[in-house]
Each structure stands twice: as C-alpha cells, then as structure tokens.
Amino acid sequence: MTQDDVEVPAMPITPGTGAVAHDLSALVVPLLKGVIYQETDAGLWNALYSLQARVRDYVSVLGLELVLDEAEGYAFLRSRPQNDVGGDDPAAAKLPRLIVRRPLSFPVSLLLALLRKKLAEFDASGGDTRLVLSRDQIVETVRVFLPENSNEAKLVDQIDTHLNKIIELGFLRRLKSAQTGQAAAFEVRRILKAFVDAQWLADFDARLDAYQRQLKTGSQGAEND
C-alpha cells in the first residue's frame, strides 16, 4: 500500500517549560522538542512572539525554519527546503536532518486526510474553534473507505491503533470524561492544517479514488466468483 511521508515535530511540550528570563536557548530547546502552543504556555509563546526574528536567524544555521501561526496559536520548527539551505555550497546543502520524516501507512494517511477535511468543514461553519469528535464519529467517517470486515470489534480495534498513532504524532488530543475519567472524545489539533495542505489533500484524493475503484473491482470479482 502506498505510504506518505510527513515531517512532524515531537510530542507537544507541557505547560511550564521555559525560564522566567527567556533567552534564545530557552526558546529553541522547547521548539526542538516539539510544538509550542499559546493556550498551554502563554509565557513561552509571548517570549517567542517577541523574539521570533532572532529565533529564525538562529535556527536557520541548523537548516531549520520557524513556523509561527499567530491566528491558530502554535509554533514549530521544520526543515528548510534543500534548495534554500547553504546557497551554492553543496556541503551545506547536505546538512543532516534534525526534524525526522516518518512514513505513514495508508490507513493513518487516510485518517489524517479525513480529519483535515472535517476541520475545513468545521471552520467553514463558523462555529467553535475546537473540533471535537467521538470515536464512533471517527469510525463511521473512515468505515466507508476500508474493506468490508464482518468482525466489527476487530475493525474498531484497528481504527483505535491508527488513532493512537495520530495522537503520538500530535495531531489529535484525547479528551477525558469528567465523570468517568475515560477517553470520551478526541480534539483535532489545529496544527494539522500546517501539515496537510490543499495540495497534499489533492494528491491523496487521487490515490484514494484509485483505491476505492480497486475495492469496488475486488468486491465485484468476489461476487462473480
């Protein structure tokens, strides 16, 4: 099955990272570890916002660039395009990659694409800023794109595995019920918009159409047999 590569930061940092007097190291180190969110660490976010020009210059030496979305309230580092690194210096253009690229399985790519579309539809509705989905909603959204499986429990378990991977990547956050303490729903993190853009969706949609035709052909072949 075709795989997609996505360059993702580490898990989001927890509130309280960063010193009182923020210098470059107190900003760059958390960024190298993961995403800085305005909602979870306003102090660190404000310092980064004020010093972003210096941070950009600093990380550019490492072949990285700062992505800071003021409207969405997140910031992270990603690798600069190879043709932007080092200019005419071939050695500089071959800097080792600090931000890891991770291959994604088809089901995980599918879930990311569907969640991204849900987020676009949600934003278009002009409602709340947080998109929260139950596991049942996610299962129903993805079910139509997966091969038919008579074992419902096994299907749900597989989707749970894929959801856990997306949580690990930082694109979903598990929410807990105040009454039971159990996971009741998932928040789609808005940083997903930075990694799954319109071109990514268009490319994936083309592969998804081919995959659906393959499923349909396989199903008809089984019926004929």
Q: How many percent of the chain have pLDDT more than 70? A: 68
Phi, psi of 4 (to 5 degrees): -115, 145
Residue 133 reports pLDDT greater than 90: yes
**pLDDT average, residue stretch 30-58:** 92
For the chain, the helix, strand and coil percentages under 3-state DSSP, each to the nearest 5: 50, 15, 35
- Each domain of the chain, given as residue ranges in start order, spans 4-102, 105-224
Start-end of H helices in 68-105? 90-93
pLDDT of residue 68: 94
Burial status of residue 162 (CB atoms within 10 A of its CB: 0-12, 13-18, 19 or more): buried
**pLDDT average, residue stretch 42-52:** 93
Query: Which tens digits make up the pLDDT trace of 173-213?
Result: 998 765 555 557 899 999 998 888 777 777 777 777 776 77
Highest mean pLDDT among 38-47, 96-105, 120-129: 38-47
Angstrom distance (rounded) from CA 13 to CA 33: 7
The alpha-carbon radius of gyration of the chain (Å, integer) is: 20
CATH number of 105-224: 1.10.10
pLDDT of residue 11: 47
Encoding tokens for residue 183? 């996971």
Start-end of H helices in 51-105? 52-60, 90-93
Query: What would you measure as the largest C-alpha separation in the chain, in angstroms?
Result: 72
Angstrom distance (rounded) from CA 104 to CA 166: 10
**pLDDT average, residue stretch 59-81:** 89
Angstrom distance (rounded) from CA 108 to CA 34: 20
Residue type at 211? Y
- What is residue 89's three-state secondary structure? coil
pLDDT of residue 113: 87
Instruction: Give the residue with greater pLDDT, 137 vs 216.
Output: 137
Cβ–Cβ contacts within 10 Å for residue 211, how many?
18
pLDDT band (50, 70, 90) for residue 225: very low
Instruction: Give the residue with greater pLDDT, 147 vs 67.
Output: 67
Using a cut of 0.75, tell me whether the model's pTM lies above it. Answer: no
Query: Which tens digits make up the pLDDT trace of 134-181?
Result: 988 998 888 877 666 557 788 888 889 999 999 988 899 998 765 555
Start-end of H helices in 10-151? 24-33, 42-50, 52-60, 90-93, 106-124, 135-143
Angstrom distance (rounded) from CA 5 to CA 198: 16
Angstrom distance (rounded) from CA 172 to CA 195: 13
pLDDT of residue 44: 93
